[in-house]
Amino acid sequence: MVEADVTLSSGHTMPTLGLGVYMNEECAEACQVALQNGYRMIDGARYYENEVQVAVGVKKSGIKRENVFITSKVIHTDFTYDGTTAALKDSIANLGSSYYDLYLTHSPIGGKEARLSAYKALLDGKASGLIRSVGVSNYSAKHIEEIREAGLEMPVVNQIELHPFCQQKPIVEYCIKHNIIVQAYSPLVRGAFDNPVIQELSAKYSKDPAQILVRWSLQRGFVPLPKSSQPERIISNGQVYGWNIETADMEKLDALDRGTEGAITWNPVDAD
């Protein structure tokens, strides 16, 4: 795998492709396979209940901790200052490392006061060295503007559902304008590969449909987080460098957009 890093507004660098581990019962094994085959980023969360398995997979991979970019997220049920602080400390214990490379608020659910309390706790975690960069997930421009209006450091990342059927252009444009990297979860549309355009391009480029979708994400400037528990799929999902989808074919994929109506997952970007 050839992988260029992206520089975050915090000054740290982040890989342009990561392994998602949501609902992965073989999480440790998946992380090990991914890292031994060129991946250098693992995207986890407290809600996934597999932070310990991520740590096991990293250790078994033989890749040094400092060479792996590890993310976790605090869920909205812990969105108080003290609740988030406690969650972060527990995450650190689960990982068996002194820091996370990136830590996110998992969603905007819970209201403005709760969101800001959790975010402030993460910023304080960053100040104390437990986190290197702080971001958000499933946030709209409105939610990020709350952070700006509060005079707080802006998030380095916003992680949202992104694929050709759900391109969420308003929040993507906002993030680009404000130097916030967009991470794309569910970039593989949960295996819904039967679309004629995806099938056509898969045949044209002699690539799996999943590779076409991940490559689309990369060429759009996103950081995709494909997930799989199957070793062969994990490996092939990472074989997305050194080739490009032509402009006309990118436009065919772009034309599949149905906005948030094309969402296939829990997608709370419009939460109050």
Range of the domain at 16: 5-262
Position 272 in a domain:
no
Per residue, what are the HEC states of 6-36?
EECCCCCEEECCCEECCCCCCHHHHHHHHHH
Question: Looking at the DSSP assignment, which residues form a beta bridge with residue 103?
Answer: 72, 134
Q: Is the pLDDT confidence value at 264 over 60?
A: yes
Position 221 in a domain:
yes
Position 270 in a domain:
no
Q: Evaluate whether 176 touches 182 at the Cβ level (below 8 Å).
A: yes
145 vs 171: CA distance, rounded Å: 11
Position 267 in a domain:
no
What CATH number is given to the structural domain containing 94?
Answer: 3.20.20.100
pLDDT at 268: 87
Residue-wise pLDDT for 12-55, tens only, equals: 999 999 999 998 789 999 999 999 999 999 999 999 999 999 99
Position 114 in a domain:
yes
203 vs 196: CA distance, rounded Å: 11
Q: Dig out the tokens for 185 from the structure.
A: 């979860």
Residues in the chain: 272
**Predicted TM-score (pTM) of this structure:** 0.95
Position 149 in a domain:
yes
Positions annotated as catalytic residues are 48
pLDDT at 103: 98
Q: How far is CA 83 from CA 45, 78, 177, in A?
A: 15, 5, 32
Other beta carbons within 10 angstroms of residue 51's beta carbon come to 23
Q: Evaluate whether 106 touches 73 at the Cβ level (below 8 Å).
A: yes
Q: Dig out the tokens for 150 from the structure.
A: 């509060």
Position 202 in a domain:
yes
3-state secondary structure of 184: strand
Position 22 in a domain:
yes
Residue-wise pLDDT for 150-188, tens only, equals: 999 999 999 999 999 999 999 999 999 999 999 999 999
- Domain total for the chain? 1
51-61 and 81-95 helices, crossing angle to 10°:
30
3-state secondary structure of 157: strand
